[in-house]
A and B are shown apart, each in its own frame.
Chain A
Amino acid sequence: MLNEENEEVKKYSRLSDGIRVDLKLVAALVDPNARVLDVGCGDGSLLRYLVEKKNVDGRGLEISQSGVRACLLQGLSVVQGDADTDLKNYPSGAFDFVVLSETLQTTHNPLVVLQELVRIGRFAIVSFPNFGYWRCRWQLLVRGHMPVTKSLPLSWHATPNIHFSTIADFLDTCAEKNISVERSYAVNQRGEPIRFGGGRFYPNIFGAQGVFLLTAGASKTADELVAG
């Protein structure tokens, strides 16, 4: 599913600058000096990285007070709020990039959130754990247990994740909802993009997470997507 030989992506994948490896891929997709909204920004590590390394005009939206405090202590601009209810307040096209990293699966209404992301941002960058990952399939099919992996580290009763999806599900949804997938990546457990010849079958099995660059508008078909 890695469909682009993106020098930036390769460069960031080699680095480890104190942010989660999978965030480096997200960061690589953001243009320097852009206006960025990080939805579900947590402790602000991605936002800080983008502000410091890419000189973005960055804002965050975070639901937890501890996360908000951590962001503010670093001098980041962050609003305590809820992706499910607060995105509608932002004007259309207010940001160049709206990032939703590992948060979509925790929202109550992921469809609405997705549509808000591409409305608010010229581009949306969305990453989520792939429930179609082979380790998930193995644990469910053979062992009969809900999957617990590096991307899905918590037990069924403790996880904040309420809307699981696979990479294939996500692509279908984007197509249905007229959301254009500009770039798509499957990443391994270490957060590194992995290459496949084509098709979505293998990425949906071997990708621990999916990372997507989206815009509003006519979606390509899933097959076109994978071909890049």
Chain B
Amino acid sequence: MKSSDYMTPVETPTANAGRQIPDTFDHQPNLLIEGNNALLLDSGVSIGPVTIAYQTYGNLNSDKSNAILVCHALTGDQYVAGIHPVTGRPGWWDNVVGPGLPLDTDHYFVLCANVLGGCMGSLGPPEINSQTGKPYALSFPVVTIADMVRAQALLLDHLDIEQLFCVIGGSMGGMQVLEWASRYPQRLFSAIPIAASARHTAQNIAFHEVGRQAIMSDPDWCGGDYLRQDKCPEQGLAVARMTAHITYLSDAAFHRKFGRMLQDDKEITYGFDAEFQVESYLRHQGSSFVDRFDANSYLYITRAMDYFDLAGEHNGALSQSFKNTPVRFCVIAFTSDWLFPVAESQAVVRALNANAANVSFCEIETDKGHDSFLLNEPGFFDVLNGFLRGAAKHRGLI
């Protein structure tokens, strides 16, 4: 497999530059739990047994009060820190989770599970349906963000963790955080939704639709049945990834990294090869993505995000989703994020304020776009550190 750079920051991290990446964490084989009962999904379909692949970092304390659940984004996975066993590269939040880092594994028990519908071991479209002996593919039921959260709650039951100290995540991970806070307010002490939104906007859905159409119009998609036909809609999935990747950055970030620079400083050739560096970069993003991600999973997970509208079940009144919430919130947004703009986070904050909830909110000034939550933004780390320390104090962890 090629190396994964699905969440490789455009900016080279500076704080960790040159840092020897310690393989601090033993990578257990995926820990699998089999739900005894089928999981009833939002769509009304039951599915099971449910397999959830997850990773843990740090140690659970004796009263099980120091657990932090990390929710990963659309194309992330449970390999948050250390060296990813598949790609051989650092985990996607290697700069945030670890000893002495904001999610300090010397103090917290950090866990992350592959989402329901994913393709890194949890139950999803590429998995074999035990009843048919074939991959689910499109026979997999459509799942929602709430279904993903239900599956994570099963994992907590399995680990016998009654209440999480914190649930944290960026982008789609932040959607899960909001769903957690809304659905299981008693099961979390604090919540940190980052670069997130309580609903997918028309623009968000539009970009996802472009990605899905790219996949489904690839002849090798085979109506979703490519695994059995030993094919892979590589072109379609790569184009989907290229489109999406643009939305994760910003004009300023692209300009700083590539400008109008040409590959190998050659002259323009009046053709359609990847002449500009930015083209080459995007093509690489696309082609490396197909090595580690399942096309049908991409369809299902983007759909789950599209369906997300937390206020929907309360006739549009988002504040009802957090009625009398006991959870301490820290909502974080990035000023140059045009995919999940600051205004979306502010809507969440307004809804929380309407409940006089304990909420902190900070706009991090950066020009690096949506993916800033994966980068070493000093202001972002300050906020994470400060909030977690304050919450830990109130929880009696320090």
Chain A residues within 8 Å of B, Cβ to Cβ? 35, 57, 59, 65, 68-69, 71-81, 86, 89-91, 94-95
Q: Which of B115-123, B140-148, B170-178, B361-369 makes up part of the contact surface?
A: B361-369
Residue of B nearest to A72 (CB): B386
Please give, as numbers and ranges, the residues of chain A lying within 8 Å of B364 by CB-CB distance. 65
Residue of A nearest to B345 (CB): A80
A59-B358, A72-B362 as given contacts; A81 in contact with B349, CB under 8 Å? yes
Q: Is the CB of A91 within 8 A of B360?
A: no
Residue of A nearest to B329 (CB): A77
Residue of A nearest to B365 (CB): A65
Q: State in angstroms the CA–CA spacing of A95 and B350 once bound together.
A: 16
Please give, as numbers and ranges, the residues of chain B lying within 8 Å of A57 by CB-CB distance. 358
Residue of A nearest to B353 (CB): A89
A69-B386, A72-B387, A76-B390 as given contacts; A81 in contact with B361, CB under 8 Å? yes
Q: Is the CB of B382 within 8 A of A91?
A: no
Q: Is the CB of B382 within 8 A of A72?
A: yes
Select the residue from A35, A69, A74, A80 with max chain B CB neighbours within 10 A.
A80
Q: B355 on the interface (CB 8 Å rule)?
A: yes
Q: State in angstroms the CA–CA spacing of A74 and B393 once bound together.
A: 11
Q: State in angstroms the CA–CA spacing of A151 and B390 once bound together.
A: 33
Please give, as numbers and ranges, the residues of chain A lying within 8 Å of B387 by CB-CB distance. 72, 75
Please give, as numbers and ranges, the residues of chain B lying within 8 Å of A59 by CB-CB distance. 358-359
Closest Cβ–Cβ distance, residue A48 to chain B (whole Å): 11
Q: Is the CB of A91 within 8 A of B365?
A: no
Which residue of the partner chain, among B355, B359, B363, B365, contacts A77 with CB atoms under 8 Å?
A: B359
Which residue of the partner chain, among A74, A80, A95, contacts B361 with CB atoms under 8 Å?
A: A80
Q: Is the CB of A89 within 8 A of B362?
A: no
Closest Cβ–Cβ distance, residue A87 to chain B (whole Å): 9
Closest Cβ–Cβ distance, residue A113 to chain B (whole Å): 15
Q: State in angstroms the CA–CA spacing of A72 and B346 once bound together.
A: 17
Q: State in angstroms the CA–CA spacing of A59 and B361 once bound together.
A: 11
Total A-B contacts with CB atoms under 8 angstroms apart: 74
Please give, as numbers and ranges, the residues of chain B lying within 8 Å of A71 by CB-CB distance. 360, 386
Offer 7 A-B interface pairs, CB within 8 angstroms, sorted by A: A57-B358, A72-B387, A74-B386, A75-B387, A75-B389, A79-B353, A86-B350
Q: State in angstroms the CA–CA spacing of A95 and B360 once bound together.
A: 16
Q: Is the CB of B359 within 8 A of A79?
A: yes
Closest Cβ–Cβ distance, residue B385 to chain A (whole Å): 7
Q: Is the CB of A79 within 8 A of B360?
A: yes
Q: Is the CB of A80 within 8 A of B353?
A: no
Closest Cβ–Cβ distance, residue B336 to chain A (whole Å): 13
Q: State in angstroms the CA–CA spacing of A13 and B94 once bound together.
A: 50
Chain B residues within 8 Å of A, Cβ to Cβ? 328, 330, 346, 349-350, 353-356, 358-365, 379, 382-383, 385-387, 389-391, 393
Q: Is the CB of B359 within 8 A of A69?
A: no
Residue of A nearest to B361 (CB): A79
A81-B361, A91-B354, A94-B356 as given contacts; A73 in contact with B349, CB under 8 Å? no
Chain A residues touching B, majority SS:
mixed
Known: A72-B330, A77-B328. 8 other contacts (CB 8 A): A72-B362, A73-B382, A75-B391, A76-B360, A80-B362, A81-B349, A89-B349, A89-B353
Q: Is the CB of B356 within 8 A of A77?
A: no
Q: Is the CB of A75 within 8 A of B393?
A: yes
Q: Is the CB of B385 within 8 A of A65?
A: no
Q: State in angstroms the CA–CA spacing of A90 and B359 once bound together.
A: 12
Q: State in angstroms the CA–CA spacing of A91 and B359 once bound together.
A: 14
Q: Is the CB of A73 within 8 A of B386?
A: yes
Q: Is the CB of A90 within 8 A of B383?
A: no
Which 3 A-B pairs give the minimum distances between C-beta atoms? Answer: A75-B390, A94-B356, A72-B386
Q: State in angstroms the CA–CA spacing of A24 and B160 once bound together.
A: 47
Q: State in angstroms the CA–CA spacing of A79 and B387 once bound together.
A: 12
Q: Is the CB of B353 within 8 A of A69?
A: no
Please give, as numbers and ranges, the residues of chain A lying within 8 Å of B365 by CB-CB distance. 65
A69-B379, A72-B382, A75-B389 as given contacts; A95 in contact with B356, CB under 8 Å? yes
Q: Is the CB of B350 within 8 A of A89?
A: yes
Q: State in angstroms the CA–CA spacing of A91 and B358 once bound together.
A: 13
Q: State in angstroms the CA–CA spacing of A59 and B390 once bound together.
A: 13
Please give, as numbers and ranges, the residues of chain A lying within 8 Å of B382 by CB-CB distance. 69, 72-73
Closest Cβ–Cβ distance, residue B348 to chain A (whole Å): 11
Q: State in angstroms the CA–CA spacing of A157 and B386 once bound together.
A: 35
Residue of B nearest to A35 (CB): B356
Please give, as numbers and ranges, the residues of chain A lying within 8 Å of B328 by CB-CB distance. 77
Q: Is the CB of B386 within 8 A of A75?
A: yes
Please give, as numbers and ranges, the residues of chain B lying within 8 Å of A79 by CB-CB distance. 349, 353, 359-361
Closest Cβ–Cβ distance, residue A38 to chain B (whole Å): 13
Closest Cβ–Cβ distance, residue B133 to chain A (whole Å): 53
Q: Is the CB of B356 within 8 A of A65?
A: no
Closest Cβ–Cβ distance, residue A49 to chain B (whole Å): 16
Residue of A nearest to B364 (CB): A65
Select the residue from B360, B365, B390, B391 with max chain A CB neighbours within 10 A.
B360
Closest Cβ–Cβ distance, residue B365 to chain A (whole Å): 6
Closest Cβ–Cβ distance, residue B304 to chain A (whole Å): 29
Q: State in angstroms the CA–CA spacing of A69 and B346 once bound together.
A: 17
Please give, as numbers and ranges, the residues of chain A lying within 8 Å of B391 by CB-CB distance. 75
Q: Is the CB of B356 within 8 A of A91?
A: yes
Select the residue from A57, A59, A73, A75 with max chain B CB neighbours within 10 A.
A75
Residue of A nearest to B356 (CB): A94
Q: Is the CB of A65 within 8 A of B379?
A: yes
Q: State in angstroms the CA–CA spacing of A50 and B21 once bound together.
A: 42
Please give, as numbers and ranges, the residues of chain A lying within 8 Å of B355 by CB-CB distance. 91
Please give, as numbers and ranges, the residues of chain A lying within 8 Å of B353 by CB-CB distance. 79, 86, 89-90
Please give, as numbers and ranges, the residues of chain B lying within 8 Å of A81 by CB-CB distance. 346, 349, 361
